[in-house]
């Protein structure tokens, strides 16, 4: 029963990204006629109940698993989910406290429907503070566990390598709750055709809007005139996670050439003689780099065997 509570909490968070819902309470909404319409209440006010179910599930689980059990739900996953539920519950986005400029989920709903996506009516200051105290305590319990940023240090290691290898190195301290996918479908779906990706624009490709969302190395949006962004050299001085997320024209990726490995540019430009060119291999001018197996020197000899096509930018 306790595990069922954890899974229900995770399902609700995954399904309803705009709130922290719970379908255990019914709300009545006046219909256009004389009958009331009964709605399954996705009530954020039940978030404390969800977090208590995480505590119950935690008692049945281990801190970590090895071998064939690796990837199963751990106590850390329970604590992390509880923390997220309570942070959402405390957030001004769902508390109608007037501190957020622009529309919030609560603003976008009318009448009694506001209770479907947030705390409504507006909570008192003490209620808001109490929710933040709970969120702080839950987050602190996760931070005191063995988790940490996946840091990759050493001579010649480019900035952002820890971010990139978080997704290719299964055994790292940054992973709290994850799903292991068998096979190599990710590579086939995301990599350029010359690196064994799907041809005829049947893969999954990043949009320009996602590329533009990455800030400069200063942390400022590219629309900020003080960010240092140069439209004539748009990829210079950007957050290093951009190159580890997106393959752009002339990004160097490992390719088996002749009798060995070599980092060769992916030719995406319109007149490219390869299958990678825009309009033939990709519909957006980009390919996905995130989660592909790395092969950048000096790591190539460690990771390339059996995965010779994929590397970092």
For 221-277, write each residue's pLDDT tens digit.
999 999 999 999 999 999 999 999 999 999 998 887 777 778 899 999 999 999 999
- What is the rounded average pLDDT for all residues in the chain? 77
Q: Are residues 239 and 110 in the same domain?
A: no
Q: Is 167 within 8 Å of 290 (Cβ atoms)?
A: yes
Q: Tell me what pLDDT residue 209 has.
A: 97
Examine residue 168 and state whether it is found in any structural domain, yes or no.
no
Q: Are residues 227 and 139 in the same domain?
A: no
Residue 38's pLDDT band (cuts 50, 70, 90): very low
Q: Are residues 219 and 132 in the same domain?
A: no
Q: Is the pLDDT of residue 177 over 90?
A: no
Examine residue 171 and state whether it is found in any structural domain, yes or no.
no
**Mean pLDDT on 136-146:** 93
Residues 6+ apart with CB under 8 A from 224: none
Q: What is the tally of structural domains in the chain?
A: 2
Nearest 5°: CA angle at 241, between 275 and 64? Answer: 110
Q: pLDDT: is 11 or 41 the higher one?
A: 11
Residue 203's pLDDT band (cuts 50, 70, 90): confident
Q: Is the pLDDT of residue 31 over 60?
A: no
Q: Tell me what pLDDT residue 85 has.
A: 84
Q: Are residues 16 and 131 in the same domain?
A: yes
Q: Are residues 123 and 215 in the same domain?
A: no
**Residue at a domain's end among 122, 143, 164:** 143
Examine residue 113 and state whether it is found in any structural domain, yes or no.
yes
Q: Tell me what pLDDT residue 47 has.
A: 55
Q: Are residues 12 and 89 in the same domain?
A: yes
Q: Tell me what pLDDT residue 151 has.
A: 82
Examine residue 8 and state whether it is found in any structural domain, yes or no.
yes
> Exposed e or buried b for every residue in 287-305, given b needs 16+ CB within 10 A?
bbbbbbbbbbeebbeebbe
Q: Are residues 211 and 123 in the same domain?
A: no
| Domain ranges, residue 95 | 2-143
Q: Is the pLDDT of residue 34 over 80?
A: no
**Mean pLDDT on 113-142:** 86
Q: Tell me what pLDDT residue 166 has.
A: 86
Q: Tell me what pLDDT residue 18 has.
A: 42
Q: Are residues 195 and 312 in the same domain?
A: yes
Q: Are residues 32 and 89 in the same domain?
A: yes
Percent of the chain with pLDDT over 90: 29
**Mean pLDDT on 76-103:** 83
Q: Are residues 67 and 124 in the same domain?
A: yes
Q: Tell me what pLDDT residue 103 has.
A: 79
Q: Is the pLDDT of residue 29 over 60?
A: no
Examine residue 160 and state whether it is found in any structural domain, yes or no.
no
Q: Tell me what pLDDT residue 306 has.
A: 38
Q: Are residues 128 and 209 in the same domain?
A: no
**Mean pLDDT on 100-105:** 77
Q: pLDDT: is 98 or 71 the higher one?
A: 71
Examine residue 177 and state whether it is found in any structural domain, yes or no.
no
Examine residue 167 and state whether it is found in any structural domain, yes or no.
no
Q: Tell me what pLDDT residue 46 has.
A: 53
**Residue at a domain's end among 128, 143, 158:** 143
**Tokens standing for residue 247:** 């393959």
Pick the range with the lowest mean pLDDT from 105-119, 163-177, 293-307.
293-307
Residue 6's pLDDT band (cuts 50, 70, 90): low
Q: pLDDT: is 302 or 86 the higher one?
A: 86
**Residue at a domain's end among 143, 170, 193:** 143
3-state secondary structure the chain: CHHHHHHHHHHHHHHCCCCCCCCCEEEEEECCCCCEEEEEECCHHHHHHHHHHHHHHHCCCCCCCCHHHCCCCCHHHHHHHHHHHHHHHHCHHHCCCCCCCCCCCCCCCCHHHHHHCCCCCCCCHHHHHHHHHHHHHHHHHHHCCCCCCCCCCCCCCCCCHHHHHCCCCCCCCCCCCCCCCCCCHHHHHHCCHHHCCCCCCCCCCCCHHHHHHCCECCCCCCCCCCCCCCCCCCCCCECCHHHHHEECCCCEEEEEECCEEEEEECCCCCCCCCCCCECCCECCCCEECCCCCCCCCCCHHHHCCCCCCCCCC
Q: Are residues 124 and 61 in the same domain?
A: yes
Examine residue 214 and state whether it is found in any structural domain, yes or no.
yes
């Amino acid at each position: 029963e306790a595990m069922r509570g954890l899974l229900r909490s995770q399902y609700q968070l995954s399904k309803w990204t705009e709130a922290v819902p719970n379908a255990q309470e019914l709300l009545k909404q006046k219909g256009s006629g004389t009958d009331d319409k009964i709605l399954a209440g996705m009530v954020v006010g039940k978030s404390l109940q969800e977090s208590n179910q995480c505590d119950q599930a935690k008692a049945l689980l281990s801190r970590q698993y090895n071998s064939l059990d690796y990837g199963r739900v751990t106590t850390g996953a329970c604590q992390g989910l509880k923390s997220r539920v309570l942070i959402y519950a405390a957030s001004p986005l769902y508390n109608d406290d007037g501190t957020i400029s622009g529309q919030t989920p609560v603003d976008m709903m009318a009448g009694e429907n506001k209770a479907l996506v947030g705390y409504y009516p507006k909570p008192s200051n003490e209620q808001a503070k109490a929710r933040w105290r709970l969120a702080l305590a839950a987050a602190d319990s996760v931070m005191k566990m063995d988790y940490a940023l996946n840091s990759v240090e050493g001579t010649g290691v480019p900035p952002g390598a820890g971010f990139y290898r978080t997704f290719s190195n299964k055994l790292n301290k940054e992973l709290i709750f994850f799903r292991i996918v068998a096979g190599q479908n990710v590579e086939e779906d995301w990599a350029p055709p010359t690196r064994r990706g799907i041809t005829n624009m049947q893969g999954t490709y990043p949009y320009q809007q996602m590329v533009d969302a990455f800030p400069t190395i200063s942390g400022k949006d590219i629309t900020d005139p003080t960010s240092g962004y140069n439209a004539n050299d748009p990829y210079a001085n950007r957050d290093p996670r951009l190159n580890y997320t997106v393959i752009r024209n002339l990004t160097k990726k490992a390719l088996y050439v002749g009798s060995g490995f070599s980092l060769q540019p992916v030719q995406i430009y319109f007149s490219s003689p390869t299958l990678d060119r825009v309009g033939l291999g990709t519909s957006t001018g980009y390919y996905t780099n995130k989660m592909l197996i790395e092969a950048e020197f000096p790591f190539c000899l460690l990771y390339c065997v059996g995965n010779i096509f994929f590397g970092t930018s």
